[in-house]
Structure 1
Amino acid sequence: MMRRRDFVAGLAGAGALASAPRPARATAWPARPISVVVPYPPGGSTDITARMVGERLSAILGQRLVMDNRPGAGGNLGLEVVARAAPDGYTLGVATTAHAINMTLFRKLNYDTLRSFEPVALLTENPLVLVVPAAAASRSVHDLIAAAKAKPGALNYASSGLGQSTHLAAELFASMAGIKLTHVPYRGSAPAITDVMAGQVDLMFDTTQSVLPHVEGGRVRALGITSAERLPIARDIPTIREAALPDYVAIAWNGLVAPKGTSPDIVRRLNAEAVRALQEPSIADKFAALGATSRPLAPEAFGAFMADEIAKWGAVVKQSGATLD
């Protein structure tokens, strides 16, 4: 028979177990809005892409994706914010071709495009369009090259910022054409193309999302496109390859990244939902109408893609001799 003191001790132990704090139940992700850092101003191609995809992902995930535009330093300021953020799935960033270029272009960065982030999903790829003001004398790529050769350095070109694809695409063009152009960097694509339309800048390489509406509206003239083949939605714009430089190709891209250490489960879910969103006709058709395409890459494949882009554009940067502090 149980002795009295054993019975009392048992009751005390049971009471301790009953009063002990229970492990907190893990909160399902996402439980609150998600911040998406866009490292450029509103209105440019990266911002357009992020907002289109973000709106659909908000509906799929049941939580708002809030765009946080952080322009500056060739896209570096925004990605630094993402690199420093808690890896809890509530801060994401949009990486671009520029962040592959910047690995070689800048002497010092406060992040590493491969080591500071978890690759989530490739969003879009699209060529750039070489445009000039509607009233410009140049009516072809050959005309533009001839004008640049006649007055070395006299023609200036706009870009969406130092180290952007819009910058390096022009540098590659100038190098292959044997001409000298003067670079005028802006804080984003929207203000840059505005000055091209106004005739304040002589030319620009800009993404199809940003510039085709202005081409169709007659506000700028398209001389060539940077893809290997003509775009179905712009058959009358020749490729720069066919117009003048047979080896010239330059493609811009946007992708979703998360801070290093973000849960693989969150990364995989974001990837699956982003791919799902991009394949929906409501999104895919809009991007196709702007000359952009998307590929369903797994996170690991997107990481390998970024590594390849860093190597490719690194060679262009070294050839151009461009460096930034």
Structure 2
Amino acid sequence: MGTRARQGVWVAGIVCVLAIIAIGASPGLSAAPDFPQKGRPITIIVPNAPGGINDMTARLVAPIMEKEFGTPVQVVNKPGAATLLGLTEVALAKPDGHTLLVLGLGNLTAYLDPDRNAAPQVRELQPVAAHNVDVGAVVVNAQSPYRTVKELVDAAKATPAGLKAATDGLLGSDHLASLQFMQKTGTSFKLVHFDGGGPATTAVAGGHVDVRIGKVGSVYAMTKSGKVRVIGVTDKRRSKYAPDTPTMEEQGWPNYTYYNYTGFAAPKGTPRAIVDAVSRVVQKAVESEEAKKRLDGVALIGQFMGPEEFTALWKNMEATIEPLLREAKKQQ
């Protein structure tokens, strides 16, 4: 995937991104003095319920972090308020590397939405490292008459009542991705919001909606079972998990990319030595055989980014999401 994320990224994340900060050093890792603090565990907060990409990522990294830093590492799920509960807990934590966050960059809507009244510290979270990425996908029912994105777009423009598009939730990553899709293609869909990506894909498979602008990984199981079909991917290159599906650029929409990166973040003010130490652990976790196997099983791609590159991606995504959020609110 290389450096493709620098342009037009936004995951569904969304935003498809993770945040985590770390702790101490091991013999092989040069870190800040007094980190980790003796007798104190490292806590990785997941702002979602167990299961899903954020949770899986945290649990892939935790045992490697525990080994490298020589201190217990615990994963704690803190769902609530559309991930804002978990993000806030980390943002307000002491910046000593003992409280980290893992999230998809699509979760940034939790604090970018002004109506959610997020604490100002949440917007100042320190990006640490990216771990994996999920590529955007245009998904239809396996029996759908639409074999290409152009056919879908033409049908949408010719249907006064509008075709129906499923999302993974109001103001979620799919919602914003759908708005982006409509802007890029000059179409209008009736958006139907579900409680998560699973129900949204099930609605596509059942023929209750016409399309979902989701992510390759989130629909992979139903793609393999033949219940849904991917007709376009939002990447510069074709996905290894949908090799016969052309990219949006191949189908006539250049410079159209959309990804959901998952990574780690820490509270503002975390010493750079600690940030770097945690980042190196994340890199080691990305390169582990266990991570490669687990990620491949759910159609995710391991992609490490250090603090500078991940921060640039994070800021790019904020700039992408904010105008889409404003547009989404106009339609509420």
TM-score range, shorter chain: 0.7 to 0.9
Question: Which residue is 1:85 aligned to?
Answer: 93
- Please state whether the residue corresponding to 1:230 is helix, strand or coil: coil
Matches within 5 A, 1:47-196: 47-62=55-70, 63-73=72-82, 75-101=83-109, 105-107=113-115, 109-112=117-120, 115-152=123-160, 154-196=162-204
Structure 2: 5+ residue stretches without partners: 1-33
Whether 2:278 is the aligned partner of 1:270: answer yes
Q: 1:76 to 1:136 in 2, by over 3 A?
A: farther
The structure with the larger Rg is: 1
Q: Quote how far apart the aligned CAs of 1:288 are.
A: 4.9
Structure 1 residue 236 displacement after superposition: 0.7
Residues 105 and 323, structure 1, Cα contact 8 Å, conserved in 2:
no
1:138/1:215 Cα in 2 relative to 1: closer, same or farther (>3 Å)? Answer: same
Does the C-alpha gap of structure 1 residues 148 and 71 become closer, same or farther in structure 2, counting only changes over 3 Å?
Answer: farther
Query: Aligned Cα RMSD in Å?
Result: 3.1
Letter in 2 for 1:200: H
Q: Distance in 2 between matches of 1:70 and 1:32?
A: 24
Identity %: 31
Q: Which 10-residue stretch deviates more, 169-178 or 30-39?
A: 30-39
1:241 equivalenced with 2:238 (yes/no): no
Q: Report if the CA contact (8 A) 2:132-2:302 is conserved.
A: yes
Which of 1 and 2 has higher RCO (CA within 8 Å, sep 6+)? 2
What is the CA-CA distance between 1:256 and the residue it aligns to? 0.7
Name 1:218's counterpart in structure 2.
226
Q: State the distance in 1 between where 2:323 and 2:182 align.
A: 15
Deviations 1:93-123 (A, max 9, x none): 2233224456655455414587532222112
Compared with structure 1, are the counterparts of its residues 28 and 249 closer, same or farther at alpha carbon in structure 2 (3 Å cutoff)? closer
Partner residue, 2:290: 282
Per-residue deviation, 1:70: 0.8
Gaps of 5+ in 1: 1-25
Are residues 261 and 129 of structure 1, via their aligned partners in 2, closer, same or farther at CA, if it must alter by over 3 Å?
A: same
1:265/1:42 CA distance change after superposition, 3 Å: same
Secondary structure in 1 aligned to 2:143? coil
Aligned to 2:319: 311
TM-superposed deviation, 1:71 = 4.3
Q: How far 1:44 moved relative to its partner?
A: 3.1
User: How many aligned residue pairs are there?
Assistant: 298
Taking structure 2 as the reference length, the TM-score comes to 0.76
Deviations 1:207-261 (A, max 9, x none): 2322222211112111111111112342111112222423321121112112223
Name the CA distance, whole Å, in 2 between partners of 1:113 and 1:312.
21
Task: State whether residues 48 and 79 of structure 2, in contact with CA within 8 Å, keep that contact through their aligned partners in structure 1.
Answer: yes
Who is 2:18 aligned against?
none
Deviations 1:287-311 (A, max 9, x none): 35624241331x2442233122222
**Does the 8 Å contact 1:51/1:67 carry over to 2?**
no
Q: TM-score, length-normalised on structure 1?
A: 0.77
**Paired position in structure 1 for 2:305:** 296
CA pair 108-233 structure 1, distance change in 2 beyond 3 A: closer
Compared CA separation, residues 129 and 113, structure 1 to 2 (3 A): farther
Which residue of the partner structure matches residue 13 of structure 1? none
